[in-house]
Amino acid sequence: MTTPLLSLQGLTKAYPGVVANDQVSFDIGEGEVHALLGENGAGKSTLVKMIYGLVKPDSGTMLLRGQPFAPAEPRAARADGIAMVFQHFSLFDALNVAENIALGMENPPKMSDLATRIREVSETYGLPLDPYRTVGDLSAGERQRVEIIRCLLQDPKLLIMDEPTSVLTPQEVEILFETLNKLRAEGTSILYISHKLEEIRTLCDHATILRLGKNVGECVPAETSARDMAEMMVGSTLQTPERSGRDFGEVALDVSGLSVPSPSEFGTALRNVHMTVRKGEVLGIGGVAGNGQDELLGVLSGEITTAADAIKFNGQPIGLLGPTTRRKLGVLTAPEERLGHAAAPDMSLTENALLTGSVREGLENNGFLKWAETKSFAEKIISAFDVRTPGPENAARSLSGGNLQKFVIGREVLQNPDVLVVNQPTWGVDAAAAASIRQAILDLAAKGTAVVCISQDLDELMEISDSFAALNEGRLSAPRPTTGLTVDEIGLMMGGAHGMEVAHV
């Protein structure tokens, strides 16, 4: 057998209170696309950070082509041919592509030489990209190309990609896969991190599955069913949320001709958004991140006010009303950003329960706070949504992301809203908790709540929503019934390949 490109042997890394990686061993062969699969918090990120030199393992060894490999910092890892594309891009919006790439280089060549190199590499790998375009104007898919090209300029032996498709439309995913296949054909190995099983089945040669920091199994994705892989990831059988056939009532939320200027320079303006949601209906809103999701939530929550008639609740214009008044009426929202937006990090869960619950739960009396009632409301959320915490007096930031998400969603669901708008309700939540959050949303809809679910997880939207629309550069496509929608149609609603061309090579 040939020596693998990278061999991990018994890697262990512990943080206070948690073992992120426990004796993880596997090999990545030359020219292999190796999937690293696992739920949020399974230890995937820690593992790749060790390979990339960002984190030092407590014990265990790595061998690169048979030689001991212990990068002390990312620069050393890059020198040995390891490159990484992070999930969150580190690009400066105001600079152009070439300048951004030059910033990450040790000894950047002259700008014109660099631009030529960028053109060469981008054409070779089917990633057309103009080096002189400003990054702020690029779509998420194009930004990812910048990151990939930045890596390819180093001529890497191993390319690590962390959740690369989470920001792409289905069409853009296809283009990315062509590039990755070409890289593989040239002998570059790829370590591909994801929890999207169908992608891994199409792309990857091998998969290593992590659960709670341990390597719990390996498989050949093409020969394993998605369900089997999912159960290896979760360690138990999965429960899919149930939905019963529902009858919709009258229109509860009516948005028409809603246009909102962008609140910040690189934000997205909403342009002429129309949608109606009936009682008991779940409207799923898909779209690549940064296409107006935050702005839409802000304008529905009342943080951004707009023309009175643009938003109507049960026929009543509410566009000019602030968050408190809207809550009183029954329009509740849960933003995507948990720490700092949906919850105050350093405040206790009790105080965070008060944050949105004061009006509907009657937690104040002429402005004076009822702490006892607030505490029992917090406790109710904690027990109803299985939030893992020692008690409501703990600070929000002490909770793990998934637990805080359960708290934030639970806080709104338990207030019996007439309209509920959620943004990324299961982001960063483990599969079991995600299923229970989705079930709670469906139960709420069954009781007659009109739900708007903004999400980048298409599987989630297909699972829970009755109709589907997509946000693309601040425009909302016309909502269509979910049943019968194909992936291609969804991709086109999301803006297709965002004008990205495919170079055929």
Partner 1 sequence: MIVLEKRPQPSKAWSYATPLVAVLATMVFGGLLFAILGKNPVEAIGTIFWEPLFGEFAFYYRPQLLVKGAPLVLIAIGLSLGFRAGIWNIGAEGQYIMGAIFGAGAGLAFYPLDAFYIFPIMVIAGAFGGWLWAMIPAFLKVRFGTNEILVSLMLVYVAEQMLASVSLGLLKNPEGFGFPGSRNLQSYDSAHNAELIAGSGMHWGVVTALIAVIFSYVLLNRHMLGFHIRLTGEAPRAAKFAGVNPARLILFCLGLSGALAGLAGMFEVSGPSGVVSIDFNVGYGFTAIIVAFLGRLHPVGILLAGGLMALTYIGGEIAQSQLGLPAAAIQVFQGMLLFFLLAFDLLTNYRIRAARSEVA
| Tokens 């090579």, residue located | 505
CB of 296 to partner 1, least distance (A): 14
Distances in Å between the alpha carbon of 166 and those of 70, 298, 455? 30, 22, 11
In contact, 428 and 455? CB cutoff 8 Å: no
Nearer to partner 1 by C-beta: 394 or 416? 394
Q: Which of residues 178-217 bind partner 1 (CB under 8 A)?
A: none
Taking the complex as a whole, the smallest distance from the CB of residue 384 to partner 1 amounts, in Å, to 22
* Residue closer to partner 1 (CB basis): 284 or 335: 335
198 or 346: whose CB is closer to partner 1?
Answer: 346
Q: Which of residues 118-177 bind partner 1 (CB under 8 A)?
A: none
Q: Which of residues 303-322 bind partner 1 (CB under 8 A)?
A: 303, 322
Q: Residue 94's closest CA among 42, 53, 135? A: 135
CB of 75 to partner 1, least distance (A): 10
Judged by beta carbon, residue 55 or residue 212, the one nearer partner 1 is 55
* Contact mark string toward partner 1, 321..340, x via CB under 8 A: -xxxx-x-----x-x-x-xx
Which residues face 79 on adjacent strands? none
Measured from the CB atom, the residue of 337 and 443 that comes closer to partner 1 is 337
- Residue 395 CB, nearest approach to partner 1 (Å): 4
Per rule CB under 8 A, is residue 364 in the interface with partner 1? yes
Under the binding rule (CB under 8 A), the answer on residue 267 touching partner 1 is no
Give the nearest distance from C-beta 36 to partner 1 in angstroms: 25
The Cα–Cα gap between 30 and 64 comes to 11
Among 93, 155, 186, 346, binds partner 1 (CB under 8 A): 346
- Residue whose CB is less far from partner 1, 175 or 349: 349
Nearer to partner 1 by C-beta: 122 or 301?
Answer: 301
Beta strand pairing call for 467-472 and 480-481: antiparallel
Task: Note whether 344 binds partner 1 by CB under 8 A.
Answer: yes
* Member of 10, 18, 25, 56 binding partner 1 (CB under 8 A): 56
Residue where the block lists tokens 């779940």: 282
Q: Secondary structure of 405-461 in the HEC alphabet? A: HHHHHHHHHCCCCCEEEEECCCCCCCHHHHHHHHHHHHHHHHCCCEEEEECCCHHHH
Please state whether beta strands 480-481 and 282-286 pair in parallel, antiparallel, or not at all (unpaired). Answer: unpaired
Q: What angle do CA 52, 156, 198 make, to 5 degrees?
A: 75
Closer by beta carbon to partner 1, 347 or else 432: 347
Q: Can you tell me the distance from the alpha carbon of 84 to that of 416, in angstroms, rounded to the nearest whole number?
A: 45
120 Cβ contact partners less than 8 Å away, ≥ 6 residues apart? none
Q: Is 263 in the site for partner 1 (CB under 8 A)?
A: no
> Cα–Cα distance between 439 and 284 in angstroms, integer?
15
**How would DSSP label each residue in 282-343?**
EEEEE--TTSSHHHHHHHHHTSS---GGGEEETTEE-TT--HHHHHHHTEEEE-S-TBTTTB
Residues 396-435 that bind partner 1 (CB under 8 A): 397-398
Helix, strand, coil fractions of the chain, as percent rounded to 5: 35, 25, 40
CB-nearer residue toward partner 1: 63 or 344: 344
Q: Which of 351, 361, 430, 460 binds partner 1 (CB under 8 A)?
A: 351
Interface stretch with partner 1, choices 46-54, 149-157, 300-308, 486-494 (CB under 8 A): 300-308
Give the separation between CA 147 and CA 97, rounded to whole angstroms: 10
DSSP 8-state code for residue 397: G
Q: Residue 301 or 477: which CB sits closer to partner 1? A: 301
Structure tokens at 5: 């490109």
Q: Which stretch binds partner 1 (CB under 8 A): 5-13, 198-206, 279-287, 360-368?
A: 360-368
What is the size of the binding site for partner 1 (CB under 8 A)? 38
Closer residue to partner 1, CB minimum distance, 104 or 345: 345
Q: Is 342 in the site for partner 1 (CB under 8 A)?
A: yes
Q: Which two tokens stand for residue 53?
A: 């030199």
Q: Tell whether residue 369 is a contact of partner 1 (CB under 8 A).
A: yes
Residues that bind partner 1 (CB under 8 A): 16, 56, 72-73, 301-303, 322-325, 327, 333, 335, 337, 339-347, 351, 354-356, 358, 364, 367-369, 371, 394-395, 397-398
